Amino acid sequence: MHNNSRRAYTFNPANYDLIHITSIRSPQKELTGTLPRLMTIYDLFQIQSDQYKNTSRESFFQKFLNNIDLQKDWITCISEYTRQEFLEYTGMSTDRVFTNLQGANEQFYPVSDTETIQLARQRYFIPNGDYFLCVASYLDPRKNVPFLIQNFIKLITEQPNLDINLAIIGSLSYKSPEIITLMEEIKAYKNRIVFTGFVPDQDLCVLYSGAKAFIFPSLGEGFGIPVLEAMQCGTPVITSNVTSLPEIAGDAAILINPRDGDELCQAMLNFLTDEDLRDRLKQKGIERAKQFSWSKCARETVEIYQKMVN
């Protein structure tokens, strides 16, 4: 359904049983005709969050939603949280909207070799000693990185004997001015906080495995794959008690209010001082992650296809 300067592909609906649209760049109904359409919804933050108010992302996503035929199309959502948000926003019939949970890639597994972990730490300049890990990628405001940094600094200031660092998977840029300003304000502690830049999955698996805990205080997720990745690597998790994250983490993580710094500080301190807690959540996390997989996601997707054509 793409035209470009080298080749034009003509889409003929008669050649297909259905169409599954996994991007908000969806084809217009005029192009797909009467072909049954399944659309994947990841989240609704682009129309719910003040971050996107009056932006092109908000208007583009709204056009995508307007293109949905509430009577004839089918919807799959990546979490029950997202499904409920979508149903409330659109009023679509519940029997046409499904939850289809995602999974973490199988290449995320516990790495125990200390030399492998040490080499990965050196590659990304993570200081010696224990470290917390956070995956924030593009440092989107929803990832709540300033909140994490501020409360990490609070913890090590109030507990100066703690030998702990913070490694954040992501790159500082002009798009993250609040974090840049914050890092300037805490120069005395900058050697305790590392922004790794991009980390490929094979290294990320190792960094998860070497971390004392994975901290993910996000303000909102449609699913929350990093939580599963950490659990598969045997890393105990602290994450938020909002949006989809309790649904994914279950009772295999410490859930905190992502706006309550005292809760986060206490959770971090608990992980550093309570080995039994870490071991218990490590095992719970490994078992929890087994409930999610891409193969299960694929099987459930095929079941939806069968409903559509029958």
Q: What digits encode the pLDDT tens for the residues 83-134?
A: 999 999 999 999 999 999 999 999 999 999 999 999 999 999 999 999 999 9
Q: 């459930």: which residue's tokens?
A: 300
What is the per-residue pLDDT for 173? 79
What is the per-residue pLDDT for 85? 98
Ranges of beta strands (E only) in 113-271 are: 130-137, 164-170, 193-195, 213-216, 237-240, 254-256
CATH, domain range 13-103+294-309: 3.40.50.2000
3 pLDDT more than 60: no
What token pair was written down for 48? Answer: 């719910």
Give 114-290's CATH code, choosing from 2.30.130.40, 3.40.50.2000, 3.90.209.20, 3.60.40.10. Answer: 3.40.50.2000
Q: What digits encode the pLDDT tens for the residues 136-149?
A: 988 899 999 999 99
Measured CA angle at 116 (ends 114, 120), to 5 deg: 115
9 pLDDT more than 80: no
Q: Distances in Å between the alpha carbon of 301 and those of 12, 40, 43?
A: 23, 10, 18
Q: What are phi and psi of 54, to 5 degrees?
A: 60, 35
What is the per-residue pLDDT for 202? 96
2 versus 97: which is more confidently predicted?
97
CA–CA separation, 223 vs 214, rounded Å? Answer: 16
Measured CA angle at 260 (ends 259, 264), to 5 deg: 110
What token pair was written down for 81? Answer: 């949280």
Work out the mean pLDDT of the chain and round it to a whole number. 94
2 pLDDT more than 90: no
CA–CA separation, 9 vs 12, rounded Å? Answer: 10
Q: Distances in Å between the alpha carbon of 239 and those of 104, 267, 276?
A: 17, 10, 19
What is the per-residue pLDDT for 222? 97
Return residue ranges of the chain for CATH 3.40.50.2000.
Answer: 13-103+294-309, 114-290
Sheet of strand 37-41, all strands in order from the earlier edge strand to the far edge? 19-21, 37-41, 74-77, 97-99
In this structure, of 22-36, 232-246, 263-277, the range with the lowest mean pLDDT score is: 22-36
In this structure, of 32-36, 53-57, 119-123, the range with the lowest mean pLDDT score is: 53-57
Q: What digits encode the pLDDT tens for the residues 191-235?
A: 999 999 999 999 999 999 999 999 999 999 999 999 999 999 999
What would the mean pLDDT of 34-55 be, rounded to a whole number?
91
pTM (predicted TM-score): 0.93
DSSP 8: B
